[in-house]
Chain A
Amino acid sequence: MSVLTYTENWDGKFKKSTYELLSYANEIAKKAGTELIALTIGEVDNEELKSLGNYGASKVLVVKNEKLNDFIAKSYSSAISQVAQAQDAKFVIFANNVSGRALAARTSVKLDGGFVPGVMQLPSSIEPFVVRKKAYSGKAFADFELNSDIKVLSLNQNSFKIIEDAKEIAIEEASVEIKDTDLGAKPQSVEKASGKLLITEAETLVSAGRGLKGPENWGMVEEMAEILGGTTCCSRPVADLEWRPHEEHVGQTGKVVAPNLYIAIGISGAIQHLAGVNSSKVMVAINTDEEAPFFEAADYGIIGDAFKVVPKLNEALKKFKAG
């Protein structure tokens, strides 16, 4: 028996969310009294692989197979399921990102397991297995009971803290068999904002809405994100108007985020917007309208014109950061 985590790598590198995932899976492994195994697909150098041992993994299995050069949910989930079976995994745990969600759903079907997506804390009980997730797009939470022998989970990003637990980690290759019928889809070209911090991973998000009047006014928003070491996101109309790229849209129909600090500039605070951001630890709203609903959800607020407040705030933040 074991706990298996799928630790995705991005061009051979792991991320903060990888270590959150391992930390979470390690706690489950301890509760279940078993070992934690990590699985990754593709080339990763030994130094990077060894880093997984800092968060409780006693073994990492590396799958190298040229049929897995492109990310295809069908072939990847086939590989992961084969490894899960070989390792007698009772828990298979993924990050709840775009690829992790798809893989977890498929893997659960292949393994005849039950799946709870987007868990946000450790199970409150192992027998029966009960774990909490968000429901109604962030407007509520629900406890799910999983009553299958094999349990598949995906962990929300920014919802579990990293816990160090250094282990001597064994690095091994695992072989899998990928059938041609497991492919069926062929990625053609990729467009990636290289090096940009993902919205779902950032600890600070500076978000702006229609109150900013036009895309030419985002300089000060980007500047604030840079000063704070965070990244930018936006309300839905801003993405719909193509002032900002679609992947920046947060809310009920966009990305659901949970940073430490969420700064909302010129965003009214519609219920659909708040649903996606209300798990943020601290929220700040800057709005000209003292009646803006965002002030009911925010921890701190400034009633004022963003075009005056934000440049001043940026100066004050810079001064603070300079110590």
Chain B
Amino acid sequence: MKVLLCISHVPDTTSKIRFTDNDTAFDKTDIQYIIGPHEELALTRLLEVKEAIGGMTITVVNVGLKETEPTIRKALAVGADDAIRVEADPTDALFVAKQIAEVYKQGNYDLVVTGKETIDYNGAQVGEMIAELLDLPSVTSTSHFDIKDGKAQLEREIDGGKEVIEVDFPFVATSGKGFALEPRIPNMRGIMQARRKPLAVVQAVNQEIKTKTNQFYLPEVKGACTFVDAENVEELVRLLHEEAKVL
């Protein structure tokens, strides 16, 4: 079983977000980068399944410039077998999906896994786009993932509940809440091994760019909090009704 896991290289979740160049570009100063949290959980679960069934290779792929290699190495240290970096600035979701579809075609994979969404652009679209480009079935927001007797057994989130779903290989799954609980942390041995694991760099293929970001904005600064005495909850009800007008 060959699995292609798509990882994003994103600002740590505690990052304070700032922009530069008149708010047209993300300010990378002092930003720590991480593997997207959804993909980190996906890798964790894939490793658990691999340990249970054996005979699986996990290739991580990232579309990015050289700066993403420490993030890719971290995935190798956690336990992925090898890695591919597509040399390009990931400008738009379709562009990224097209690159990954190309990698898929070169590699005879049985399964593509992506995170449900990246935490920078929050597009939640790359997985489905890859599936569409490759004419594959897909399972979105997968909340449970297992392979038993060669069959994929998944659970997916639907609006207001969840659903058990069977799907034929090859397919694309996007990992959502519940895929794994705690991300696996690399140990010393993993970090040493990661240095020697293969990381191939491939050139990007052409794809017309259909969307671009012009301008970023930060949310308006909120006014100060109005405190209400704990003994006087009626006052809060009054404020919510008369001042905030939400009751």
Contacts and interface: CB of A to CB of B under 8 A. Distances in A.
Interface of A: 10, 71-74, 77, 97-99, 101-102, 104-106, 108-110, 113-118, 130, 132-137, 139-148, 181, 183-193, 196, 198, 200, 204, 228, 239-240, 246-247, 249, 252-254, 256, 260-261, 271-272, 275, 278-279, 281-282, 284-285, 295-305, 308-309, 312-313, 316-317, 320
Given A113-B210, A198-B159, A135 B121 contact: yes
Contacts of A309: 230, 233
A184 B168 contact: yes
Interface in B178-233: 178, 181-182, 210-219, 222-223, 225-230, 233
A285 B240 CA distance: 13
Contacts of B211: 114-116, 144-147
A253 B132 contact: no
A309 B168 CA distance: 53
B239 interface: yes
Chain B interface, >50% SS class? mixed
A10 B43 CA distance: 34
Given A136-B120, A186-B165, A320 B241 contact: yes
23 contacts: A98-B157, A102-B140, A106-B129, A109-B97, A109-B133, A134-B122, A135-B122, A142-B216, A184-B171, A186-B165, A189-B163, A190-B163, A240-B181, A246-B143, A272-B13, A275-B13, A281-B244, A282-B246, A299-B244, A300-B228, A302-B228, A302-B229, A313-B233
A222 B218 CA distance: 34
A141 to B, nearest CB: 4
Contacts of A228: 247
B230 A252 contact: no
Contact of B135 (A101, A181, A278): A181
Given A136-B11, A191-B161, A278-B219, A74 B137 contact: yes
Nearest to B246: A261
Contact of B215 (A110, A142, A246): A142
A299 B122 contact: no
A302 B125 CA distance: 40
Contacts of A200: 159
A117 B167 contact: no
Contact of A104 (B125, B138, B141, B234): B125
A284 B97 CA distance: 41
Contact of B159 (A99, A118, A132, A239): A99
Interface residues of B, number: 79
Given A189-B164, A239-B177, A309-B230, A136 B244 contact: no
A135 B10 CA distance: 12
A46 B237 CA distance: 42
